[in-house]
Structure 1
Amino acid sequence: MLSLLVTLAFSFSVRAEGPLALRPDTACEKRYVVSFMNAAPGFFTDEKGNKQGSSFEILQEVIRRLGCKVTEETSSHFASTEGFVRNRVDIFGITNKSEKMNKTGEFVEMYRVPRSLVIRKDALLTEPTIESVLKNKKINFVGIIGGLFFIKESEKEKLFKEHRLREVPGPSEIYTALDEGRAQATFSSPAFTAYYLGKSDKLKKFKVIPDHKSEWQSLGFYLSTNRLSKTEREKIKGLIHGIRQDGTLLNIQKKYVQPEDFDYYHPEKTKDVGRL
């Protein structure tokens, strides 16, 4: 059954000779395989067919500075993870840390953000806290198949045991399930909340509760330890650091998050990211 799921997941993967490499006259002869999740706000196409998205733009900048040709792979989170652990991908991101991918890759942090609980207002009986919502057996959560999507492993296990966790292929399906009432809550990040709820009247139906007690969510890139040499990985890590510190990260994220969340991506706020 697992092999069937993997096969089906990869059948939806999109592979393309990408425009990410913006220097065709480069002396770099290597072609890198880069993978990113085919889901907004990380990646999407606008009404004119132009590629956009926070993960896509950051990865585009990494490759531009690297100066090499690339092959793009876009797919679900599950398929992207499988492709990486099966040594088919050089760089995957932006994603969170994964014990599974740690076995074949090195995680390079790009930034950290606090997660938030997003819950339907019509599911609330009293002023909620994250702890009370997790304990309330009348409230069902929704998350991503094969991923955590800002939920802790211990929380996922608890919700599964209580039959309170519905899993779907990607972020779009998460917010559709919430909007239609098939689930009442999820954990999110500033970019996901802004894209799926902040740009419409849908946000009025939900309460967003920042989680200031938990460790902030670490997001970044996985570099393949089997396909990339240590020298290559160190070079890419340096490029990622430069993108944080010269303000490029902030300028990209300003397109995809609310103004009150800009500080999370500011060079001064991210100067120690990747060292901890």
Structure 2
Amino acid sequence: MKSVFILVCCILLTSVFSIPTRAAPARTTQVSQACERNYTFGLITVPPIYFVQSGKKSGLGYEFSIEAMRRLECRFTEKVGVVSALMNSFTNNRLDFLGPLTDKVAFKNSEFIGLWNAPRILVIKKANIDVKAKNLEAYIFDSKLVFGTLIGGNIYYHEEEINTLRKSNRVRPYAGGEDIVRALRAGKVQALIAGPYILGHYFDKKELAEDYVQIQGNGNPLEWGFHLSTTRLNSDERGRLRNAFLKMKEDGTAERIQSKYKQFEFQDRE
């Protein structure tokens, strides 16, 4: 009789403790098929592409990258650095994607996803204006002008332009946008070429109007977006990431992110 009682108790206990395992929601620990890997992306430390303010991460590059990961429900690793170091990391297959950069940046291992267009703009001190030069491109060949650029990241220049500046020793590389603007204000360089977001971040309208002339480049505006690694990411992974970025354009998310950052309003040359 005692053995029968023990057997019944064991059966009841087994039934009770087996119920929760059947009812436990699997989705709490399950990851989607898209998230079998951890994505690694670069954040270029040039405001407003990426910066930290009052302990909060922000910037165009940061918000687009985080939004893509949110949509894919993926784990991710951030790599923060200057543009030259991150471009080198991308070239050497240490990053899954990098941006925003222009379509003019040439990677052998890249699929480019364009998100918005923006002109390149020359900012030049009024004292250095050559009335004979009619457009941005003409100033590249002005022997009196020294240009400030980012170290290793000549994202606003065509290859033949940067080669011309280097041959004549008229280019000064700096680590960040703030350094270039400081050099321009101090007269160490006389000109820089940048886009609306960079100029909107570092200059106010009054300073630009009083001290500088802005000249918009000829031809098509630069296309800005993200470079996806064709060596680290297979076609399916690139496809999911590509769709995440393109959906931001379709549903207005890209425009909402961009609207948070001040753009330079072009003032035509008088």
TM-score (norm 2): 0.80
Map residues 93-242 of structure 1 onto 2, 5 A cutoff.
93-97=99-103, 100-101=106-107, 103-126=108-131, 129=134, 130-198=136-204, 201=207, 204-211=210-217, 213-242=218-247
1:55 is aligned to 2:61 = yes
Rounded to whole Å, the distance in 2 between the matches of 1:260 and 1:25 is 48
Please give the secondary structure, in 1, of the residue aligned with 2:154. Answer: coil
Q: Cα–Cα, structure 1 residues 203 and 50, in superposed 2: closer, same or farther, change >3 Å?
A: farther
Rounded to whole Å, the distance in 1 between the matches of 2:29 and 2:57 is 19
Please give the secondary structure, in 2, of the residue aligned with 1:135. Answer: coil
1:133 is displaced (CA, Å) by 2.2
Please give the secondary structure, in 1, of the residue aligned with 2:140. Answer: helix
Q: Which amino acid aligns with 1:42?
A: I
Q: Which amino acid aligns with 1:181?
A: G
Counterpart in the other structure of 2:50: 43
**Percent pairwise identity:** 31
Counterpart in the other structure of 2:248: 243
Contact 1:85–1:100 (Cα < 8 Å) also in 2 = no
Q: Cα–Cα, structure 1 residues 184 and 25, in superposed 2: closer, same or farther, change >3 Å?
A: farther
Contact 2:40–2:76 (Cα < 8 Å) also in 1 = yes
Counterpart in the other structure of 1:34: 41
Rounded to whole Å, the distance in 2 between the matches of 1:166 and 1:79 is 18
- Between stretches 112-121 and 193-202, larger displacement belongs to 193-202
Q: Deviations over 1:81-125 (max 9, x none)?
A: 111111111111111236652x22212112221111111122225
Rounded to whole Å, the distance in 1 between the matches of 2:226 and 2:119 is 18
1:198 is displaced (CA, Å) by 3.0
1:214 is displaced (CA, Å) by 2.2
Rounded to whole Å, the distance in 2 between the matches of 1:164 and 1:259 is 26
Q: Cα–Cα, structure 1 residues 80 and 119, in superposed 2: closer, same or farther, change >3 Å?
A: same
Rounded to whole Å, the distance in 2 between the matches of 1:191 and 1:39 is 11
1:223 is displaced (CA, Å) by 1.1
Contact 2:116–2:223 (Cα < 8 Å) also in 1 = yes
How many residue pairs get aligned? The number is 236
1:38 is displaced (CA, Å) by 1.4
Q: Cα–Cα, structure 1 residues 170 and 24, in superposed 2: closer, same or farther, change >3 Å?
A: farther
Q: Which amino acid aligns with 1:161?
A: K
Rounded to whole Å, the distance in 2 between the matches of 1:70 and 1:144 is 27
Map residues 75-94 of structure 1 onto 2, 5 A cutoff.
75-94=81-100
Q: Cα–Cα, structure 1 residues 194 and 99, in superposed 2: closer, same or farther, change >3 Å?
A: closer
TM-score (norm 1): 0.78
Q: Which amino acid aligns with 1:141?
A: F
Rounded to whole Å, the distance in 2 between the matches of 1:223 and 1:87 is 11
1:201 is displaced (CA, Å) by 3.9
1:257 is aligned to 2:256 = no
Q: Cα–Cα, structure 1 residues 205 and 260, in superposed 2: closer, same or farther, change >3 Å?
A: closer
Rounded to whole Å, the distance in 1 between the matches of 2:78 and 2:252 is 25
Q: Cα–Cα, structure 1 residues 218 and 70, in superposed 2: closer, same or farther, change >3 Å?
A: same
1:127 is displaced (CA, Å) by 7.5
Rounded to whole Å, the distance in 1 between the matches of 2:30 and 2:48 is 31
Q: Which amino acid aligns with 1:118?
A: V
Contact 1:149–1:187 (Cα < 8 Å) also in 2 = no
Q: Cα–Cα, structure 1 residues 98 and 135, in superposed 2: closer, same or farther, change >3 Å?
A: closer
